[in-house]
């Protein structure tokens, strides 16, 4: 579904630009250079985990276009829920900056909308009958 892919793209762009701004924030940048931000040690394991976490929305941009309906719905429900909860929880770590809260509102809004759309998604729609099908049914 293109709406889901578009929402995942929107979320990913917000995640990315928030991180770009974070690297312009002297406090965050100095913490990264010291390998500790808001009490979190920035280790190779932490970076690997962060990479895995961000691969979820990146992959969902593509998967939401390619997966069959049932797998698509489940994947969007799970991935959207995980990303909504993680982003919400991230606001409880340290003292978030105003720009982080701003981007989090959009990120949480996008992933919550993904969950809502996937929850409401009733399934593949039957194709509309062609004019030939309608003429055949009327004649038969």
Q: What pLDDT digit, counting tens, does each position of 87-107 carry?
A: 999 999 888 999 999 999 999
Lookup result for tokens 């009733």: 122
Question: What's the pLDDT at 127?
Answer: 63
Residue 79's closest CA among 121, 117, 115?
A: 115
Cβ proximity of 60 and 8 under 8 Å: yes
Cβ proximity of 60 and 76 under 8 Å: yes
| pTM for this predicted structure | 0.84
Residues of the chain whose pLDDT is less than 70? Answer: 125-129, 133, 135, 140
Query: Does an H or E element contain 36, and which?
Result: strand 36-37
Local structure of 37: helix, strand or coil: strand
């Amino acid at each position: 579904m293109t709406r889901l892919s578009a929402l995942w793209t929107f979320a990913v762009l917000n995640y990315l630009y928030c991180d770009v701004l974070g690297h312009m924030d002297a406090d965050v940048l100095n913490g990264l250079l010291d390998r500790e931000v808001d009490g979190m040690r920035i280790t190779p394991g932490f970076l690997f985990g962060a990479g895995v976490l961000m691969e979820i929305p990146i992959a969902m941009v593509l998967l939401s276009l390619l997966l069959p309906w049932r797998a698509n719905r489940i994947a969007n429900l799970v991935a959207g829920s995980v990303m909504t909860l993680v982003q919400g929880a991230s606001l409880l770590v340290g003292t978030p900056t105003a720009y982080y809260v701003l981007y989090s509102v959009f990120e949480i809004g996008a992933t919550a909308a993904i969950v809502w759309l996937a929850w409401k998604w009733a399934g593949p729609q039957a194709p509309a009958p062609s004019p030939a099908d309608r003429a055949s049914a009327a004649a038969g």
